[in-house]
Amino acid sequence: MKNTTVNSPRSRGRPRAFDRSAALAIAGETFWQLGYEGASIAELTAAMGITPQSLYAAFTSKADLYREALDWYQSEVGAFAAAALEKEDVVAAFKQLLMEAAKQFCRPDRPRGCMISMAVLTCARDNDAIADMVAREREATMKALHDRIEQGISQGQLSTDTNAMALARFIGAIIQGMSVQARDGASAKDLEAVAQLAIEQITRFRAQSATD
């Protein structure tokens, strides 16, 4: 009904009857819950309320739909992480990142854990390309953590002998582990306790001149 692509020059034929971005959000949640291999086209179309035909017309293929779903997740769901990293103080940024993750991973209205952390860790040989794509997303996240740490060092907030890559991997590991435990039923409180222990370790890298 509503044309979601803002500046499209009003295409000719019959307009699509469903909201593309709303359908994408549902597909994203389905992939998030079931994984790439676990979410069949039948499952996806049933959740989205459209036919396979409409799905392929709008999203080209299952792999392309998954790619778009990852983008949707990053921008719509993972936005809290980017927001946290923008905090002025680097320790406060990671504190907010981890504490917010603990909450987000246990939201009752959504699949548990982080979609990207847990996606396609194992898969059939046919789907190796998909696995590589998600692995690259995880590496990009790791690089973002690393860069934020480097920034904290250069701003004098973290000790100059901080191993940025090791600390980034440490924080990343905590987030990935929190994801798994959220899936297994851990509560937000459980995860906040884990986050707190990680934050204490991060805090030890504060530069001596900085406030604590």
Partner DNA sequence: TTATTTCAAGAGTGATCATTGTGAAAAATA
Partner DNA sequence: TATTTTTCACAATGATCACTCTTGAAATAA
In the set 12, 86, 88, 211, which binds DNA (CB under 7 A)? 12
In the complex, the smallest distance separating the C-beta of residue 61 from DNA, rounded to whole angstroms, is 4
Q: Does 6 bind DNA (CB under 7 A)?
A: no
Interface with a second copy (CB under 8 A), residue total 53
CA end-to-end span of the chain, whole Å? 54
In the set 8, 108, 124, 184, which binds DNA (CB under 7 A)? 124
Residue with tokens 């040989």: 125
Residues 52-111 that bind a second copy (CB under 8 A): none
- List all residues 6 or more positions away from 184 whose beta carbon is below 8 Å from its beta carbon: none
Is residue 206 helix, strand or coil? Answer: strand
**Chain-centre distance of CA 182, in angstroms?**
14
Q: What is the C-alpha separation between 66 and 115, in angstroms, rounded?
A: 12
In the complex, the smallest distance separating the C-beta of residue 145 from a second copy, rounded to whole angstroms, is 12
In the set 24, 39, 69, 153, which binds a second copy (CB under 8 A)? 39
Encoding tokens for residue 63? 């792999």
Q: What is the C-alpha separation between 83 and 15, in angstroms, rounded?
A: 36
**Residues binding a second copy (CB under 8 A):** 32-35, 37-40, 43, 113, 117-119, 121-125, 127, 135, 138-139, 142, 163, 165-167, 169-170, 172-181, 183-186, 190-191, 193-194, 196-198, 200-201, 204
